[in-house]
Amino acid sequence: MAAAMAGTLHLGVETRYFETRRRSPRLLRLSSSNITGRVSVSSVARWRSERGRVLSVWCDVGATEEEETAFERGSDGGLTIVMKFGGSSVASAERMKEIVDVILSFPEERPVIVLSAMGKTTNKLLLAGEKAVSCGVSNTCDIDELRFIEDLHLRTVAELGVDVTIISDLLDELEQLLKGIAMMKELTLRTRDYLVSFGECLSTRIFAAYLNKIGVKARQYDAFDIGFITTDDFTNADILEATYPAVVKRLHGDWITDPAIPVVTGFLGKGWKTCAVTTLGRGGSDLTATTIGKALGLREIQVWKDVDGVLTCDPHIYPKAEPVPHLTFDEAAELAYFGAQVLHPQSMRPAREGDIPVRVKNSYNIEAPGTIITNARDMSEAVLTSIVLKSNVTMLDIVSTRMLGQYGFLAKVFSIFEDLGISVDCVATSEELDHVVEELEKIAVVNLLQNRSIISLIGNVQRSSLILEKAFSVLRKNGVNVQMISQGASKENCIDVECELCDDGEVEVPKAVKNFL
C-alpha cells in the first residue's frame, strides 16, 4: 500500500509481467513478475500489459487533467518537441553550425533532434556496395565513393573541432563491411540496410559531439538501440507497436536521470525476429520523428527542409509559388501521393494518431512561419489549396464490349498489372508497358497514349463545381485538351485532370489555374 498525496486509488491487479505507461510526474513506477492485491498510486491513467492488455483505472483525487496534459506536452521540464533535419541541412560543417543556431533560436524548447545522413552519403554508400560486389577484396579501399565518404566526414570533424575518434571506429567498420561484400560477391537486402545505416550513425555522432563541444549537453542515440522495433522487411520495414513504450522508457528515462538533448538517427530500426538493422523506406527519417513525437506525447513535430513550408505549386514550375499556411493530414497525404514535396503519408500516421501538429519549416529562413499540418482546419473560406503537376504520364485506354453487363472485367484488367508487378500509378519502363499491352490485348482493344500530364487540384470538396468550372475555362483558353477527369472520395477533395500539355503549358497552366482561382 502506498498513500497518495491528495487521496488514494485502489487497484486490484491479478496478472503477470506488467508495467506502467507514465502519464503524470507523480506516477508511482511498478514492475513485478507476480502481484496480487491492492496498489495505491497518486495518479494513473492506464496500465499496459506486456501482452497487450490494457487495464483502465480511475482515481478519486490526485493529479488534475490539466496537470496530466501539461506533463504530456513537456511543460513540467520534460522534452517538448521533435526537430528533424534532412541531409541537405547537415551536408557540411558550415550547415551543421547553422542548424545548431536554428536549435538554439528556440531557447524555450527542449527538443529531440532527428538527423538524416550527410548530403549524398546514402547514395554513395549504395554505389560503394554495388562496386564492392565485383571489384575484389584487395580493391575495396580504392572505391571512389568510400574515399568520398571518408573525406567528407573527416573534413567535417576537423572543421568542427571535435575528436576524430568518435567516427574512426565506424569508418574502419565500414571498410571491413565492403571487404566482406567483395568476398561474398553479393549485396543482400539485409546487408544493404546495414551498409546505409552508417550514414545516419556518422552524422549524429558528429552533431552530438559538436553540441557538447560548444557547451550544449547532448547524447547520441542509434534508433535501433533505443527501441525502434520493426518488421524484417529489409529496405522497407514497418514500425511495430512495441516501439512506443520502448522509446518512452529509454528517452524519457535518460532525460529524467541526466538531461541532455537526444540526437537520434533517422531512417533506422531493428528487425524483431532477426535483430538486424532495418531501414524504414521512403520518408523514413520523417517517420522516425513522428514516432518519437507520438511516443513521448510531445507538443509539436518540426520537419526542417529547404523551402518555406508546403507550397501551392512546384517552385521549379512556377517560381512564385507560395507556402500554404495550414493543411490537414488528409490534404497533405493527397499532395504527397501525387508527387508534392511533403511528408510521406506513412510518416504522418503516428502524428495523426497522436493528434500532434507537424510544422514544415525552412532551415535557410527560420523566420518564415512554415506550414502547420493538423487533423482539422477551418475550410469555410478555402477554395483551392494546391496544384500538383505530374508530367510524362502514359495512359492506357481500354475498350471492350465484355465490360458491358459483365462482372469481373475490371478484376481481370487489374490482375494483369498485379501479375506483372506493376502499380497502375507507377513509373513503368517502355518494356514493361509492352508486356502490359500484350496481355491486355487478349481481352480488349488497347490504345497507348504517351506524353500526357496529370494536373491534381486539391481543394474544398464543397466547392468542387467552382474549381472545375474555372479550371476548365483556364485549360480551354490555353488550348489544353482534357482527356480524362477523376475525383477523390476524401473530405479534402482531389480532382485529377489528365491532358496533353506542350512544354510551355507545364508552366503556364498551373500558373493560370492558380491565379484565376
Instruction: Tell which residue, 215, 226, 309, has the closest CA to residue 263.
Output: 226
pLDDT of residue 92: 97
Could you tell me where the beta strands, DSSP code E, fall in 338-414?
Answer: 358-362, 371-374, 384-399
Strands 229-230 and 111-115: unpaired
Higher pLDDT, residue 496 or 114: 114
Under the banding of pLDDT at 50, 70 and 90, the label for residue 435 is confident
Under the banding of pLDDT at 50, 70 and 90, the label for residue 258 is very high
Q: What percent of the chain has pLDDT over 90?
A: 48
Q: Which tens digits make up the pLDDT trace of 353-388?
A: 999 999 999 999 999 999 999 998 876 666 777 887
pLDDT of residue 419: 84
pLDDT of residue 425: 64
Burial 342-370 (b: 16+ CB within 10 A, else e): bbbbbbbbbbbebebbbbbbbbbeeeeeb
Under the banding of pLDDT at 50, 70 and 90, the label for residue 460 is confident
pLDDT of residue 372: 95
Instruction: Say whether pLDDT at 14 is over 70.
Output: no
Q: DSSP states of 396-429 as a string?
A: EEEE-GGGTT-TTHHHHHHHHHHHTT--TTS---
Residue 20 burial by Cβ neighbours in a 10 Å radius (0-12, 13-18, 19+): middle
Q: Which tens digits make up the pLDDT trace of 151-180?
A: 999 999 999 999 999 999 999 999 999 999
Q: How many other C-beta atoms can be found within 10 angstroms of the C-beta atom of residue 159?
A: 14
- Name the residue ranges covered by the structural domains of the chain: 11-72, 81-300, 401-443
- Length reported for the chain: 517
Helix %, strand %, coil % of the chain (to 5): 40, 25, 35
Instruction: Tell me the three cell numbers of residue 314.
Output: 512546384
Q: What percent of the chain has pLDDT over 70?
A: 75
The CATH architecture one would assign to domain 81-300 is 3-Layer(aba) Sandwich (3.40)
C-alpha span between 275 and 271 (Å, rounded): 5
What is the C-alpha R_g of the chain?
A: 26
Instruction: Say whether pLDDT at 428 is over 90.
Output: no
Residue type, 196: V
pLDDT of residue 459: 75
Instruction: Tell me the three cell numbers of residue 220.
Output: 547520441
pLDDT of residue 8: 35
Half-sphere exposure of 314 (CA within 13 A, CB side): 20
Instruction: Say whether pLDDT at 20 is over 60.
Output: no
How far is residue 81 from each of residues 9, 73, 359, 366, 384, measured CA to CA in Å?
A: 32, 8, 11, 16, 31
- pTM equals 0.76
Q: Which tens digits make up the pLDDT trace of 28-76?
A: 333 333 333 333 333 333 333 333 333 433 333 333 444 344 334 444 5
Instruction: Tell which residue, 358, 394, 390, 389, has the closest CA to residue 373.
Output: 358
Under the banding of pLDDT at 50, 70 and 90, the label for residue 394 is confident
pLDDT of residue 53: 37
Higher pLDDT, residue 500 or 399: 399
- Mean pLDDT check: name the lowest of 51-60, 224-233, 305-314, 479-488: 51-60
Q: Which tens digits make up the pLDDT trace of 476-509?
A: 887 777 777 777 655 555 666 766 665 555 555 6
